[in-house]
Amino acid sequence: MTAADSAALHAADGSTGPDATARAASPHTPHADEVITSWTVAREAGVSQSTVSRALRADPRVREQTRQRVEDAARRLGYVPNSLASSLASRSGRTVGVVVSDLTNPFFPSLLSPIHDELQLMGYRVVLFAERTDIPSGQDALNRLLDRSIDGVLVTTATLRSPLADTLRMRGLPLVLLNRYIDGLDVDRVISDNRGGAVAGARHLLELGHRRIGVVRGPSNTSTSRDRMAGLQDALHAEDIALDAALVREGSYSHQSGYQHTRDLLRLADPPTAILCGNDIVAFGAIDAARSLDVRVPQDVSILGFDDVPMASWEVFRLTTVSQPFEEMATAAARMLAERIDQHVEIGPGREQIFPATLVKRSTVGPPRS
């Protein structure tokens, strides 16, 4: 999204505000459809078009008095600079593309909010590239990223071996990977310690006495899912316990996947006593599945999530999960990208920032029934 905030727009209800310009404009714009450009403003202010351009961008070289005159004229006319022309001429629209997945998964809005806020603070607008499975237009989406309307890209849904990031990099587009990374691709990235977080989560289950641990993991082509699995294995190995392959299911990061796979697991002759879920939305599906089978959580089965989205703390869920510091991660990624775009940073090796992932104990994990 060129996510902007219209909060203040609405907040301005009934006051002078956005509409003041429009009102003031009418006496000077007899024809409503007459386009107002910097030339119009120049004429009105009695200066050259170049001076208008400079004044409005607060170029220190223009005299304060002149700037004032230009700004007044611009306000009277309700002038808004044409961003297309300005971006074309300056070769930058201060616009960043953010690639996210299905917004229906609360994880992405949670990550997006801080990204948007930070980027906006730095003067960038953000255009959202939302993954949709039902409309096939990959080349289209890629082209929109490469059509010069975007100055840099934040990818939150990188898939292992996906050519997207590599293509963008070859095209010279500043790029930062957030949340998921790609093996052997030397670009900036901001991730959390998925492996460590999974170790903490798994250990918690083991300490409570769980031995038959089920898993509804995310897609194996994502670094997050792979690293979380690795963390689970680490914790298991430390206790000399083997993961029962029959209890491991792979699915998408969705409620549907959590629901279906958990139902399958719970209907096994010898069901797991705890289920480690790929992320929170999967865990919500798992909780739903348990409920649909009258299996109590955590008395009959423990459920562990990953992410700690806001919903996780709702009373109906009180999900025990591994928390990722969304805000800090988003902020760090936004800053990294801005640095690359603003050329403060040499084209150099990819930088990496790893944030801790910590266990948050709530009410969906307990000791196994014995």
Interface with DNA (CB under 7 A), residue total: 29
Name the binder of 353 from DNA, a second copy, none, CB < 5-8 A by kind: none
Binding DNA (rule: CB under 7 A), the pick from 21, 37, 149, 358 is 37
Name the binder of 56 from a second copy, DNA, none, CB < 5-8 A by kind: DNA
Nearer to a second copy, 137 or 299 (CB): 137
Q: Smallest distance from the beta carbon of 162 to a second copy, in angstroms?
A: 5
Q: Smallest distance from the beta carbon of 346 to a second copy, in angstroms?
A: 14
Site string for a second copy, 151-170 (x = CB under 8 A): ------x-x-xxxx-xx--x
Binding DNA (rule: CB under 7 A), the pick from 38, 156, 254, 273 is 38
Dihedral angle over CA of 198, 204, 210, 211, nearest 10: 40
Name the binder of 363 from a second copy, DNA, none, CB < 5-8 A by kind: none
Nearer to DNA, 53 or 252 (CB): 53
Binding DNA (rule: CB under 7 A), the pick from 16, 26, 50, 137 is 50
Residues pairing with 320 in the sheet: 304
Name the binder of 1 from a second copy, DNA, none, CB < 5-8 A by kind: a second copy
Q: What is the DSSP string of 77-144?
A: HT----HHHHHHHHT---EEEEEE--TTSTHHHHHHHHHHHHHHHTT-EEEEEE--SSS--HHHHHHH
Site string for a second copy, 94-133 (x = CB under 8 A): ---x-x---xx-x--xx-xx--xx--xx---x-xxxxxxx
| Sequence-separated (6 or more) residues with CB below 8 Å from residue 114 | 326, 327, 330, 331, 334
Binding DNA (rule: CB under 7 A), the pick from 44, 53, 308, 331 is 53
Structure tokens at 274: 């705890």
Q: Smallest distance from the beta carbon of 120 to DNA, in angstroms?
A: 19
Residues pairing with 304 in the sheet: 276, 320
At CB < 8 A and 24+ separation, what contacts does 159-166 make?
159/219, 159/221, 159/222, 160/221, 160/222, 160/223, 160/226, 161/221, 162/221, 164/99
Block residue for tokens 């910590």: 358
| Sequence-separated (6 or more) residues with CB below 8 Å from residue 187 | 165, 169, 175, 176, 177, 350
Structure tokens at 152: 């840099």
**Is 353 an interacting residue with respect to a second copy (CB under 8 A)?**
no
**Is 150 an interacting residue with respect to DNA (CB under 7 A)?**
no
Asked if residue 334 lies in contact with residue 269, where contact means CB atoms within 8 angstroms, the answer is no
Residues 56-95 contacting a second copy, CB under 8 A: 78, 80-85, 87-88, 93
Residues 252-281 contacting a second copy, CB under 8 A: 255
Residues 321-340 contacting DNA, CB under 7 A: none
**Is 57 an interacting residue with respect to DNA (CB under 7 A)?**
yes
Asked if residue 111 lies in contact with residue 330, where contact means CB atoms within 8 angstroms, the answer is yes
Interface with a second copy (CB under 8 A), residue total: 92
**Is 66 an interacting residue with respect to DNA (CB under 7 A)?**
yes
Asked if residue 329 lies in contact with residue 177, where contact means CB atoms within 8 angstroms, the answer is no
**Is 341 an interacting residue with respect to DNA (CB under 7 A)?**
no
Q: Smallest distance from the beta carbon of 30 to DNA, in angstroms?
A: 17
CA angle at 118 for the pair 150 and 192, rounded to the nearest 5°: 95
d(CA 61, CA 46): 18
Q: Which of 289, 306, 314 is nearest to 204 (CA)?
A: 306
Asked if residue 278 lies in contact with residue 218, where contact means CB atoms within 8 angstroms, the answer is yes
Residues 243-272 contacting DNA, CB under 7 A: none
**Is 5 an interacting residue with respect to a second copy (CB under 8 A)?**
yes
Q: Smallest distance from the beta carbon of 209 to a second copy, in angstroms?
A: 26
